[in-house]
Amino acid sequence: MTAVAQTSIRSNPTPQPTKYALELGGQFAGFFNSFEGGDATCDVITEKLGADGLAHKHLADVKYEDMLLEFGADMPVLVHDWIVGTLARNYAAQDGAIIALDMRSQPSWRLEFSRAMIRRITFPALDASSKDPGLVHLTLAPEVTRLPPGSGQIAAATTSTSKPWLAQNFRLQIDGLDCTRVDSIESLTIDYDLESDATEAFREPKKAPVQSIPNLVFTFAESTDDTIVKWHEDFVIKGNNGAQSEKNGTLQFLVANMSDAILTLAFQNLGIFRLRRVNDSRSIARFRAEMYCEAIGLDDKSSASNGRKDPKKHTRQNDQPELKKNPGPLLRGAYAPSLANPASPYLAIAPSSPPRSRESVNPTTLKFRS
């Protein structure tokens, strides 16, 4: 009997998933590329040596591992909006499910989760010479997960309409700086400390999650008249680094035509603090710039693939007037003398600290200082 059971199991192995589907709040949210985590586990506690000469062990309380999801830049609407709200410090816990699909797009297993919050958002590193796909990593901290019997169903057609996006397709703009020679940007990871206070933290938090904003780090080719080098000299060496000297900017993730943005990040209150030459095998001399940032927002209207407005109507507002008349796209970066008006009126953002200027900052819409 045992041998027959083993043969039966081996003859019908569960295939590895080829893609994943996501449900949020009982709705089909879309597809994503890869998944790991969500398992129930316990820490093992070792007691003091007992009279019997053994160090006995027992389990601590059950806990549930973080879940890591991987999306393209044109992520599903519900995920996009969840990230927008989190960046604006409107923290929300979500119920949902992960559904693994086989090569026939049939569900093979289902993992349900409750009251998950966003712990980490990582936007990919960008490089003008890269052919790699651009992927956004989202880490979720669930309160509980469970594997229900059966594989469940998907409440939507199992077809994906995602647009291809490569890490080489981007445009950086910082007010008053020439970014046309920017050739790479390091990844940006925004962390949230959710361990505010022990038990029942998600149900009755005693304090809001602590947001950690990364530095903006990029490399660019050297030129004889460089606005970034001049700003470093003024801001760092000469000490003109008050709040009125900080800058704002945007980073657009572009489709292959190098014009339409699938995703737009906004940086508030940038301040350069390090500039050094890059020693590598490239023939062109390059600099590596590091800038602190007080807040990062996400354009909640940028993705046309998600049924939103045409990105061309509001992602090119920072270009110089003479450049707007040029039908050719801006490559890698742009030179925006001023970003007094944001790239989009829909950039949801909240400052990580109270504003230091006399101007008020709307908690849900990015306001640039001129």
DSSP characters over 261-286: EEEEEEEEEEEEEEEEEE-SS-SS-E
Q: Quick count: other Cβ atoms within 10 Å of Cβ 351?
A: 19
The pLDDT of residue 155 is 55
CA distances from 217 to 185, 248, 288 (A): 6, 14, 7
Q: What's 195-221 look like in SS3?
A: CCCCCCCCCCCCCCCEEECCCEEEEEE
Q: What is the pLDDT of residue 358?
A: 36
**Lowest mean pLDDT: which of 222-226, 296-300, 302-306?**
302-306
Backbone angles phi, psi at 292, to 5 degrees: -75, 160
pLDDT band for position 196 (cuts 50, 70, 90)? low
**pLDDT score of 108 more than 50:** yes
Output the CA–CA distances (angstroms, integers) from residue 315 to 141, 158, 198, 293, in the order listed: 33, 31, 43, 21
What pLDDT is attached to residue 163? 59
Residue 344 confidence (pLDDT) above 70: no
Query: What tens digit of pLDDT does each residue of 229-247 get?
Result: 999 999 999 999 999 999 9
What's the pLDDT tens digit per position in 129-187?
A: 999 999 999 999 999 999 987 666 665 544 555 556 899 999 999 999 999 999 999 99
Residue 86, H or E segment: helix 77-87
**Residue 311 phi, psi dihedral angles, 5° rounding:** -60, -25
pLDDT mean over 34-42:
93
The region of weakest confidence among 146-150, 266-270, 355-359, 365-369 is 365-369
Q: Does position 106 have pLDDT exceeding 70, yes or no?
A: yes
Contact (CB, 8 A) for 113 and 67: yes
